[in-house]
């Protein structure tokens, strides 16, 4: 079960990871990228988590959109 602290850390660390990728000047090591992505997604919020957050804080979050096939 993911704890709130883990979920928050996943959000902030994912932002940092994406900023690092964006600023990378060296060749990207895709094996490392896949490993980091898996670690970050472990506690990343699900759509149900976003829906609950949007209900509680509509000025901060919007409900997730339905996925289109």
Residue 68: inside a domain: no
Res. 69 pLDDT band, cuts 50 70 90: low
Residue 63: inside a domain: no
The model's pTM is 0.70
Residue 66: inside a domain: no
Q: Could you give the CA distance from residue 32 to residue 57 in angstroms, rounded to a whole number?
A: 35
Q: How large is the average pLDDT for residues 11-31?
A: 89
The domain in which residue 8 lies consists of 4-56
Give, as one character, the DSSP assignment of residue 37.
H
Number of domains observed in the structure of the chain? 1
Tens of pLDDT, residue by residue over 27-66, are: 888 888 899 999 999 989 988 999 999 999 998 888 888 7
Residue 34: inside a domain: yes
Residue 30: inside a domain: yes
Q: Could you give the CA distance from residue 34 to residue 32 in angstroms, rounded to a whole number?
A: 5
Residue 48: inside a domain: yes
Residue 26: inside a domain: yes
Residue 64: inside a domain: no
């Amino acid at each position: 079960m993911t704890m709130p602290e883990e979920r928050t850390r996943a959000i902030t660390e994912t932002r940092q990871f994406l900023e690092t990728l964006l600023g990378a000047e060296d060749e990207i090591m895709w094996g490392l990228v896949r490993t980091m992505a898996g670690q970050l997604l472990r506690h990343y919020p699900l759509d149900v988590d976003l829906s609950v957050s949007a209900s509680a804080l509509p000025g901060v979050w919007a409900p997730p959109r339905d996925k289109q096939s």
